[in-house]
Amino acid sequence: MTTELALLAAIIAKPDDDQPRLVYADWLEENGHYFTAKFIREQIAGLVRTVPMTTLFRLEPALRTQPPQWKNSAKPGRATTVANGIELHWRRGFISEVRCTEEQWVGGECERCEGRGFGSLDDGLVVEECQRCHGTGHIPGIGQRIAQTHPVERVVTEKRPYQRRWYCGTAGPIQRTEAYVAQSIFHLMDGESQHYTDTHHEMKRYPTEQAALDAYSRAAIEWVRRPQTFTANFYYAGELQPMPMDDQE
């Protein structure tokens, strides 16, 4: 693990402590990244500060676009950046909340090759590896890259519980698709599952809608912070994108 990744791990391990963040800011300044260090310190101090472009540059591989059309705004101690329909809320120098679709967060089937991992050349005779998914048939979500380098506290997607219940499975008694969540997230949620063998689905019930949303958010973060082994396509998740030395606001 590099020095920078170790410093980021310390921040994630103690999200309520400002000291690891300030230590990281010192390291950034010592390595020529003045504006990013300044952003962290001034957000901790509660000042109005937009996110430096070099900080956003490191997120471009995770957001799968070159370059994103960033919308950047700020309030005292808070900042918001939006690109590709993904909304990032920054507090105390780091992303604290992500708003996106569930598929954007966890990933999904590659649309270009329809999950096959390969495609045909124009003559239809030669098969080649899909360049978008690198032959895996799967496009990684933004969650792993962001949650492993930022102390994300909340994830909000288009999913909504139905009468305080979450569902998982191929079929069920309700038509509310927004209440059906990814299996990987569902099985990490608090509470016991109720199985319906006749309809091949599972359900979890919560005392309030907010409790259901909180359980979903915690599970979504926990899943992306676990070691992933299902694809070799996390080529941009294992190493941080280098930050340009001519750091700019």
What range does the domain containing 48 cover? Answer: 1-99
> Does any domain span residue 37?
yes
Task: Please check whether residue 148 is in contact with residue 185, taking contact to mean a CB–CB distance below 8 angstroms.
Answer: no
Name residues whose C-beta falls within 8 Å of residue 82's C-beta, 6 or more positions apart in sequence: 70, 71, 88
Say if 26 falls within a structural domain: yes
Instruction: Flag residues of the chain having pLDDT under 70.
Output: 1, 64-68, 119-127, 131-132, 170-175, 197-199, 227-249
**Amino acid 192: pLDDT:** 80
- What per-residue confidence (pLDDT) applies to 93? 95
How many Cα atoms occupy the beta-carbon half-sphere of 188 within 13 Å?
A: 17
What's the pLDDT score for residue 230?
38
Q: For residue 5, is it within any domain?
A: yes
Overall domain count for the chain: 1
Contact 144, 155 (CB under 8 A): no
User: In the chain, which ranges are continuous DSSP H helix?
Assistant: 3-13, 19-30, 34-44, 53-57, 60-63, 102-106, 143-147, 183-186, 209-225
Whether residue 8 lies inside any domain: the answer is yes
pTM: 0.81
